[in-house]
Amino acid sequence: MSPAPFRSVISLACALVCVLTAAAAQAQTPAAPAAPPSWQQGRNAEQEKSPLHPFAIEVTGKSAKELPVDKLKVPEGFKVEVWADGLPGARSMALGSKGTVFVGTRQLKDVYAVVDRGGKREVKTLLKGLESPNGVAFSRGTLYVAEHHRITRYDGIESRLDNPPEAKVVVEGLDPQNQPGHFWKFLALGPDGKLYYNVGAPGNIVMPAYFQASISRVDPRTGIIENYAQGVRNSVGFDWHPQTKQLWFTNHGRDWLGDESPNDTLHVATRKGQNFGYPYCHQGDTLDPEFGKNRSCSEFTPPALKLGAHIAPIGMRFYTGKMFPAEYQNNIFIAMRGSWNRSIKQGYNVTRVIFDAEGKPKMEPFLTGFLVDEKADPPMWGRPNDVMVMHDGSLLVSDDQNGIIYRVSYGTK
Amino acid sequence: MNGNCGAAAMFAAALCFSLHGAAGEEVPRNAQTCVACHGPGGNSTDPAMPSLAGQPAQFISLQLFMFREGNRKDPQMSPIASSLSNADMNELAAYFSRQKPAAASHETTSENAAAGRRLAEQHHCVQCHGPALLGLQHIPRLAGQQFAYLRAQLRGFKARTRADFDGNMTSAAELLSEKDVEILADYLSGLTPRRD
């Protein structure tokens, strides 16, 4: 084992699981000597020579002063500005009832709290030394944090920002094998008072264990877990429709099937227990070349909207604020953090999803300007990660590449 | 030339005559400590000590971060990084990435020049580190880096005593034999460290 890596690089458990699953699926190819990083898994021999690679974040953050933030664009009447910087790795956001913005990280070990003091933002490192604390949620005075392996609670947090209480465990043992894969978690509180979180797939394209490639929920009062949705490769953003109260979520499709395939997707779960296709069927209509043999896409619930191949949709929220024009009510904003797994890059924006009279969703770019050159390496200078509606109706956008939060407002405010 | 040599008494003697920046460039205060070990302008002359000149800025700040956070450990380097803020790290990274790498001092044996290239292609070193092994983003330049240092790092990745950020390098080094490591270090160290 490596001494103290950001994540245990190649645990024996994974070497076993990945090799076994790969072998089961592809008995004709010899088993690899060790599990490759999960982003490389599923490449064919020719793709091993591909120069495509995920982009690493700036772990020390970047000051907004060094970045072309003046290149950011929003529609007429809107304004975008830097709200706070100095939050390396800033990802999921949650809003406290007194206005504190809580921010989780994935490749760091910190959770931040940002407080507005008379128009100036103060950034505090609230919690340290956590395991990939990507998920944050707030309810009735309590901050919930989802790490790799557990969900914890910090009661009365907003009055204790300088001396946070000890973590109380809601549930643990969520990552029993401590293997590489999509195991950082998004966390949100459902209308039923339960905490919803994802457990992604252990690799790019592998057979998941029963608790993986799913969205689950846990009752914070009892610690009882239920599997809510299956066949979800990796969803790191979800929200409930303000009227129907149905769960909507974004999902990342598999890599290494080409520039245009498959799409990343937006889904709605109309009830508990639906299966959305992974690893058999992608984007509702495309069978996986390996796992899809002898299966049919009609077994699975199709997506509500195809978002673009490899575009990496992360955070998504319904707009319920009072600030934006009326036609934005109940629209969805999605933060697109990719793409890397295509030769011509796309995305790196915040996208608006609008519903037409029949309730059919369509999308258009809302906040753009991060993508500079779709053929360059890197193609972008920043990556939207999560979106969150503030009490005043403005929209915050986190950028984990640089550790910056932007604010989009409308009108003169 | 910035004459502030008081910052690190331990290295004071070395500091006072080793402050070279690119012409007219201001040397960040913290960088004065670094050159005592990493060489003038970040060009090391010690085979066991890495050069920093011309490394991608993101690679330098990532390594400093990993030393500070304890993921990467070294008795000399860890205490240095422990007191650096993120802003210090970014400033140092920007500074050293702008310094011109000195020509390689190492000479690759003729048989290892061909064998090293073959290994670098076979093991996809060139896919990540770039066709000329000059590095990009968080991936380091290997071309012209010190021989003993490269060899020690490759051994470290293999033995899992050198942590890496994303698992990429640990996995890449796993398949190398001790002989491959020797050949690759010899090959890489003799390459031209810049694009001119």
- Across the range A15-22, mean pLDDT stands at 35
Domain boundary residue, one of B74, B98, B122: B98
Q: Which whole number is the average pLDDT over A23-31?
A: 36
Mutate to test the interface with B, among A11, A50, A58, A112 (most CBs of B within 10 A): A58
Residue A226's CB is within 10 A of a number of other CB atoms, namely: 11
CA dist list (Å): B194 to A250, B138, B141: 43, 17, 9
- Specify whether B94 is located in the same domain as B143: no
CA distance A336 to A322: 24
d(CA A353, CA A237): 14
Domain span holding position B49: 7-98
pLDDT, residue A38, reads 80
pLDDT digits 0-9 by tens, B42-99: 999 999 999 999 999 999 999 999 999 999 999 999 999 999 999 999 999 999 999 9
The pLDDT-based confidence of B194 (bands split at 50, 70, 90) is confident
Q: Given pLDDT bands bounded at 50, 70 and 90, which one contains residue A265?
A: very high
- Rounded to an integer, the average pLDDT of B137-143 is 97
Same domain? For B128 and B172 the reply is: yes
Q: How does pLDDT run across A382-398, given as a tens digit for each residue?
A: 999 999 999 999 999 99
Residue B91 phi, psi dihedral angles, 5° rounding: -70, -45
Q: What is the predicted pLDDT for the residue at B29?
A: 86
Average pLDDT, chain A: 91
Residue B23's pLDDT band, with cuts at 50, 70 and 90, is: low
- Confidence band, pLDDT 50/70/90 cuts, at residue A72: very high
Q: Which chain B residues are Cβ-neighbours of A48 within 8 angstroms?
A: 124, 127
Q: What is the mean pLDDT of residues B106-134?
A: 95
Name which of B165, B176, B177 to mutate to probe chain A: the one with the most chain A Cβ atoms within 10 A of its Cβ: B165
Summarised one tens digit per residue, pLDDT across range A113-162 is 999 998 899 999 999 999 999 999 999 999 999 999 999 999 999 999 99
pLDDT one-digit tens code per residue, B2-19: 333 333 333 333 333 334
Interchain CB distance below 8 Å, B86 and A6:
no
Same domain for B116 and B161? yes
Mean pLDDT of A76-91: 98
The pLDDT tens digits for A155-198 are 999 999 999 999 999 999 998 776 778 899 999 999 999 999 99
- Regarding whether B152 and B86 lie in a shared domain, the answer is no
Which residue pairs from A394-399 have beta carbons closer than 8 angstroms and sit at least 24 positions apart in sequence? A394/A321, A394/A323, A395/A319, A395/A321, A395/A324, A395/A333, A395/A350, A396/A83, A396/A93, A396/A101, A397/A335, A397/A350, A397/A367, A398/A87, A398/A90, A398/A91, A398/A92, A398/A93, A398/A103, A398/A315, A398/A335, A399/A90, A399/A370
Whether B58 sits inside 8 A of A48 (CB atoms) is no
Query: What is the reported pLDDT for B167?
Result: 85
Instruction: Give B69's contacts in chain A (Cβ within 8 Å).
Output: 109
Q: Give yes or no for residue A17 having a pLDDT over 50.
A: no
Is the same domain home to B43 and B89? yes
Question: B151 lies in a domain?
Answer: yes
pLDDT above 70 covers a percentage of chain A that reads: 91
Q: What is the mean pLDDT of residues A308-335?
A: 97
Note whether A2 contacts B136, CB cutoff 8 Å.
Answer: no
ipTM of the complex: 0.86
Judge whether B194 lies within some domain. Answer: no
- Does some domain include residue B103? no
In a 3-state reduction of DSSP, which class is residue A12?
Answer: helix
Report the CATH number that the domain containing residue B150 is assigned in CATH. Answer: 1.10.760.10
Closest CA to B81 of B71, A166, A403, A261: B71
Does residue A316 surpass a pLDDT of 90? yes
CA-CA distance, B184 to A274, in Å (whole number)?
51
Residue B14 shares a structural domain with residue B78: yes
% pLDDT > 90, chain A: 84
| Contact across the interface for A4 and B71, Cβ inside 8 Å | yes
* pTM for this model (two decimals): 0.90
Q: How many domains does chain B have?
A: 2
Structural domains of chain A sorted by starting position, each given as residue range(s) with its CATH number in brackets: 61-89+172-410 (2.120.10.30)
Q: What is the CA radius of gyration of chain B?
A: 16
pLDDT for A37 beyond 90: no
B44 and B91 co-located in one domain: yes
Per-residue exposure over A257-294, b if at least 16 CB sit within 10 Å of its own CB, e if not: beeeebbbbbbbbeeeebbbbbbbbbbbebbbeebbee
Residue B195 lies in a domain: no
Q: For residue B158, is it within any domain? A: yes
- Within this chain, do residues B117 and B54 fall inside the same structural domain, yes or no? no
Last residue of a domain, one of B98, B133, B153: B98
φ and ψ at residue B131, rounded to 5 degrees: -55, -35
pLDDT of residue A35: 61
Contact A10, B167 (CB under 8 A): yes
Which among B98, B120, B145 is the end of a domain? Answer: B98
Assess if residue B36 is contained within a domain: yes
Chain A residue nearest residue B164, CA to CA: A5
DSSP reduced 3-state for A157: helix
B contacts of A49 (beta carbons < 8 Å): 124, 127
Average pLDDT, chain B: 88
Please tell me the least confidently modeled range out of A41-55, A86-100, B67-81.
A41-55
Cβ neighbours of residue B53 under 8 Å, at least 6 residues apart? Answer: B39, B41, B42, B43, B96, B99, B100, B101, B102, B193
| Residues B167 and B130 reside in one and the same domain | yes
Rounded CA-CA distance A32/A22 in Å is: 9
Residue A402 banded pLDDT, cuts 50, 70, 90? very high
Q: What is the mean pLDDT of residues A353-364?
A: 96
Q: Residue A280: pLDDT above 80?
A: yes
* B90 located within any domain: yes
> Domain for residue B40, yes or no?
yes
Q: Cα B30 from chain centroid?
A: 17
* Residue A368 clears pLDDT 80, i.e. is over it: yes
**Per-residue burial over B77-87, b = 16 or more CB atoms within 10 Å of its CB, e = otherwise:** beebbeebebe
Are residues B127 and A51, on separate chains, in Cβ contact within 8 Å? yes
DSSP state for residue A391 in the 8-state scheme? T
| Per-residue model confidence (pLDDT) at position B19 | 44
Give the pLDDT confidence score for residue B5 in this predicted structure: 33
Q: Are residues B120 and B82 in the same domain?
A: no
B122 in A contact zone (CB under 8 Å): no
Q: What per-residue confidence (pLDDT) applies to A233? A: 97
Q: Which helix (H) or strand (E) holds A93?
A: strand A93-95
- Mapped onto helix, strand or coil, the DSSP state of residue A79 is strand
Beta-carbon separation of B162 and A48 below 8 A: no
Confirm if A37 and A7 have CB atoms less than 8 A apart: no
Which single residue is written with the structure tokens 């069978």? A287
Name the burial class of residue B73, with classes exposed (0-12), middle (13-18) and buried (19+) by CB atoms within 10 angstroms of its CB: middle
B40 secondary structure, DSSP code: G
